[in-house]
Amino acid sequence: MTDTASKSIAVLLPCYNEAEAIAQTVEGFRRALPTATIYVYDNGSTDNTVEVARQAGAEVYSEPLKGKGNVVRRMFADVEADVYVMADGDATYDPDAAPKMIDLLHSTRSDMIVGTRQSSEDAAYRRGHRSGNRLLTGLVTHIFGRRFTDILSGYRVFSHRFVKSFPALSKGFEIETELTIHALELRAPVSELATTYASRPEGSASKLRTFSDGFRILRVIIQMTKEERPLAFFSLIALFFLIICLAIGVPVLLEYFDTGLVPRQPRWIASVAFAIAALQSFSVGLVLDTVTKGRQETKRLLYLSLPR
């Protein structure tokens, strides 16, 4: 076992209207990590979440910009520590798993440990959320690398250098997807640990909206594919234009070979236009791929310049 007491540990708990759960969450992490400093970042709660968190012994701060991504961005900027533990303030994640995740972070010299959610309760981890998670996880692993089984888990442990090199551009629940892709693009050492996922306390309601937030996460995956894999992204667009070009232009071309005439000139002009669009899309992908490689090198050097 690694001596976690020799490292400064920060527990980061983003929350919004979690008065029914925040005291239980803070007390659980205080028991599991007695040497850690617990930070609660409130995102504009309208109940007494702030007062309850302070009474439980947490350091409480506020982030006025709505959205979990904005809260994580603020937490990562404000808090200095050697090890960061991040979980939701809704008492769904198991605090007793935190020491094991920290030990795994040290023993494997990783930069991020993801607590993969294990639950037999449908109320805790609804089927729609499970199916959406599998779909989005499969898409991310297919594009960026197969190293995670639960990209949407909010229970994570980070090294200092990972937190301070993470740009945190997302505004809402898509922040977990951005964290995952950031680690995959850095090719940072990462690992997973199965953790218990429980139902929310009575009176607490999930802020996650299955379809709207799912589409936002999908949009982030597409956007980051464009930014991190521009050649593949724009090559697909070029292929789409090329298929249309061939579907329109080949019949006209065959007719020209048979008769020596081009009676359907508008179709031929449209075919040429789509061919030009395909060439332009592929060229854009080539240029952006060069730019992206330079940006990735800069990001990697920043990451390596920070102490682990």
pLDDT tens by residue, 217-236: 899 999 999 999 999 999 99
pLDDT at 278: 97
| Higher per-residue pLDDT: 165 or 126 | 165
Closest alpha carbon to 115 in 145, 157, 84, 73: 157
Average pLDDT over residues 231-253: 95
pLDDT at 254: 86
pLDDT at 122: 54
CB-based burial, 227-261: b 16+ in 10 Å, e otherwise: bbbbbebbbebbeebbebbeebbeebeebeeeeee
Average pLDDT over residues 116-138: 73
Q: Are strands 156-159 and 112-118 parallel, antiparallel or unpaired?
A: antiparallel
Q: Which of 98-102, 147-151, 257-261 has the lowest mean pLDDT?
A: 257-261
How far is it, in rounded angstroms, from Cα 96 to Cα 103?
12
**Is the pLDDT confidence value at 32 over 70?**
yes
| Higher per-residue pLDDT: 121 or 190 | 190
Closest alpha carbon to 45 in 25, 61, 27: 61
**Is the pLDDT confidence value at 5 over 90?**
no
**Is the pLDDT confidence value at 167 over 50?**
yes
Which ranges of 7-61 would DSSP assign to H, the alpha helix? 22-32, 49-55
**Residue 126 one-letter amino acid:** R
Question: Across all residues in the chain, what is the average pLDDT?
Answer: 90
**Residue 295 one-letter amino acid:** R
* Residue 162, token pair as written in the block: 């990972």
pLDDT at 7: 75
**Is the pLDDT confidence value at 146 over 90?**
no
Q: If 0-12 CB within 10 Å is exposed, 13-18 middle and 19+ buried, where does residue 14 land? A: buried
Residues with Cβ within 8 Å of 108's Cβ and at least 6 positions away in sequence, in order, are 189, 191
Closest alpha carbon to 190 in 290, 116, 251, 242: 116
Query: What's the whole-model pTM score?
Result: 0.83
